Every structure is written in structure tokens, then in C-alpha cells.
């Protein structure tokens, strides 16, 4: 019983309440800080929207929704050219917090190694040569055989923003299996996705993002946009990601649907937050 109580106390300490006034001040400061490194617009190869504004927005989501703490050990899967990393430099504790970013695209990793790590030595970036038909077609690592180059139980917070939106269902399963392996007890994954539920399918109010006219592929669970390459935008049957997270040994803490489908929300993509619990509860 004492071990269970201790585990619950440790888990609670990982996700302490946030101060809303401070979070607002922090995200606004990130948004207005003209000294933060920012890549040339032509080199931003993934993601829509303003680099700094999107990063500031997600920093707020990580803290408010995910319970991210300054001393967290972060892994950013698919870190791209540092859109999440740059604002996190203003939040993570330089002595106790740490950030590891990985991506298959060498250009983004090289920029982050030049522009971020020298000023923030607790931020490191690594290219992992995962094959992807759009982003890294000559990659040597099959996504189905992915082994993250990190020790088990090493991270408190894993970021997967706009990752499963570019993966087939079998690779989602492989990624989540590795996510579970490297999460510390009480650690969380923050994952964005497109869940093609009834509202998204029917689009009765005609307010769904016009770019995302998903159509089901075969019997599912994947949905693709006919006018785009298959992995440019991937949606999933409602329930698929819930089951995938659970099968990977993760407990869903939050499932929040985004406004891409034309319903009110303070985030665009759908958000899943799931936790690794050593006691299974």
C-alpha cells in the first residue's frame, strides 16, 4: 500500500497546477521576443501558420493541458526545425529540465544544432533516418521497426505534434510502443491527430477546414485527402487512436477534439494526452 501511495504522490508532483497569469505572460513574452532564433520562412518545411505564434500557442497547451513542468525531461518526436523547441527554451529549467528533439530531416536538425543548442546546452537534436515517403524517402529505418535511440523510462513528457497525421496505422502502433518504453512512470505523451468522427464526416455546418475532405481508405482506419499524397494528411476512425494508446500500455488522460472539424475549440488538431502508469492505474 505504501508503494502505491508513493507512486501516486510522485505522479501528482509531476503535474502541479499552473498559474494562468504566468502562462499568459510567458506565452505573450515568447510571441513578442524578437531575439529568439527563427528560421527563414523558406526553410520551414512542415506545418502551417506563423512559426513563433504556433510555438507560443503550443507551449501554453503543454503547460495547461499536459501538465508540463520546468524540470521535465522532454522528447520531441518529429521536432522539425524547432517550432516547439524554441519556445520551450524560455520555460525549461536550465539545470534540471532537458529537451531531446529527433527528426528524419537533416536540414531542420542542423539548423537547431546551430541556432538553439549553443545558447541552450540542455537542448539536443538528433537526426534519426526513418523512411517517410514525403519527408525522407531514402531513409534507412523502416517505421514499422522503429527503435527510439534512447534508454527506457527516460522521459517525463513526449511531444508528438503533427506526427501521426503523417503516418499509416501500422506505424502509429510501432511509434506508440516505443513511446511507452521510454516514458518514465507518470510521464505523459502529448499527441495531435485528425479524428474523423461523425461531425467531421458529415460537415453539416460546412465549417470543416476545406483542405481536409477526408475519404476512408479501404476498410479503414485511415482516411486520406484525395487531392493530396496519401501521407500529406492522415485521419483515423474515431476510436482507433484510443485503442492504440491503450494497447501500447498508456492510460488516456485527455481527449480533446479540435476546431478543424468546424466546432469551437482552442486548438486546431485533436489532442490526446496519455500517461504511463507503472501500476496500470
pLDDT at 6: 43
Q: Cα separation of 87 and 90, whole Å?
A: 6
Gyration radius from the chain CA atoms: 18
pTM of the model: 0.92
| DSSP annotation of 231 | G
pLDDT at 281: 61
Q: How confident is the model at residue 278 (pLDDT cuts 50, 70, 90)?
A: confident
Cβ-based neighbour number of residue 112 at 10 Å = 25
Each residue's pLDDT tens digit, 47-83:
567 899 999 999 999 999 999 999 999 999 999 999 9
Q: What angle do CA 43, 268, 281 make, to 5 degrees?
A: 110
In 3-state terms, what secondary structure has residue 157? strand
Share of the chain above pLDDT 90, in %: 87
Each residue's pLDDT tens digit, 192-248:
999 999 999 999 989 999 999 999 999 889 999 999 999 999 999 999 999 999 999
CB 78 within 8 A of CB 161: yes
Q: Which three cell numbers stand for residue 8?
A: 501516486
How much is the average pLDDT of 258-280? 93
CB 53 within 8 A of CB 83: no
Q: Which three cell numbers stand for residue 263?
A: 466546432
Comparison of pLDDT for 105 and 18, the residue scoring more:
105
Comparison of pLDDT for 188 and 9, the residue scoring more:
188
H-helix or E-strand spanning residue 103: strand 98-103
Contacts with 200 (C-beta within 8 Å, 6 or more apart), sequence order: 194, 208, 214, 235, 260, 261
* Nearest of 154, 77, 137 to residue 108 by alpha carbon: 77
How much is the average pLDDT of 86-106? 97
What average pLDDT does the structure give for the chain?
Answer: 92
Each residue's pLDDT tens digit, 3-55:
444 444 445 456 667 799 999 999 999 999 999 999 987 765 555 678 999 99
pLDDT at 49: 73
Q: Which three cell numbers stand for residue 27?
A: 506565452
Amino acid at each position: 500500500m505504501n508503494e502505491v501511495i508513493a507512486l501516486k504522490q510522485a505522479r501528482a508532483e509531476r503535474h502541479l497546477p499552473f498559474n494562468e497569469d504566468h502562462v499568459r505572460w510567458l506565452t505573450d513574452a515568447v510571441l513578442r521576443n524578437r531575439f529568439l532564433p527563427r528560421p527563414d520562412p523558406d526553410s520551414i518545411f512542415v506545418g502551417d501558420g506563423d512559426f513563433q505564434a504556433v510555438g507560443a500557442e503550443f507551449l501554453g497547451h503543454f503547460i495547461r493541458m499536459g501538465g508540463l513542468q520546468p524540470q521535465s525531461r522532454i522528447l520531441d518526436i518529429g521536432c522539425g526545425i524547432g517550432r516547439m523547441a524554441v519556445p520551450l527554451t524560455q520555460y525549461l529549467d536550465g539545470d534540471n529540465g532537458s529537451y531531446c528533439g529527433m527528426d528524419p530531416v537533416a536540414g531542420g536538425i542542423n539548423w537547431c544544432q546551430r541556432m538553439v543548442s549553443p545558447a541552450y546546452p540542455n537542448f539536443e537534436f538528433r537526426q534519426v533516418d526513418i523512411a517517410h515517403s514525403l519527408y525522407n524517402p531514402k531513409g534507412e529505418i523502416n517505421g514499422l521497426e522503429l527503435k527510439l535511440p534512447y534508454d527506457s523510462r527516460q522521459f517525463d513528457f513526449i511531444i508528438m505534434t503533427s506526427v501521426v497525421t503523417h503516418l499509416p496505422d501500422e506505424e502509429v502502433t510501432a511509434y506508440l510502443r516505443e513511446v511507452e518504453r521510454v516514458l518514465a512512470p507518470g510521464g505523459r505523451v502529448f499527441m495531435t491527430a485528425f479524428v474523423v468522427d461523425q461531425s467531421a464526416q458529415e460537415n453539416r455546418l460546412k465549417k470543416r477546414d476545406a483542405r481536409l475532405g477526408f475519404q476512408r481508405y479501404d476498410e479503414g482506419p485511415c482516411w486520406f485527402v484525395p487531392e493530396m499524397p496519401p501521407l500529406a494528411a492522415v485521419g483515423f476512425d474515431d476510436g482507433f487512436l484510443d485503442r492504440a494508446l491503450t494497447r501500447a500500455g498508456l492510460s488516456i488522460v485527455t481527449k480533446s477534439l479540435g476546431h478543424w472539424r468546424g466546432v469551437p475549440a482552442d486548438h486546431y488538431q485533436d489532442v490526446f494526452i496519455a500517461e504511463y502508469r507503472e501500476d496500470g492505474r
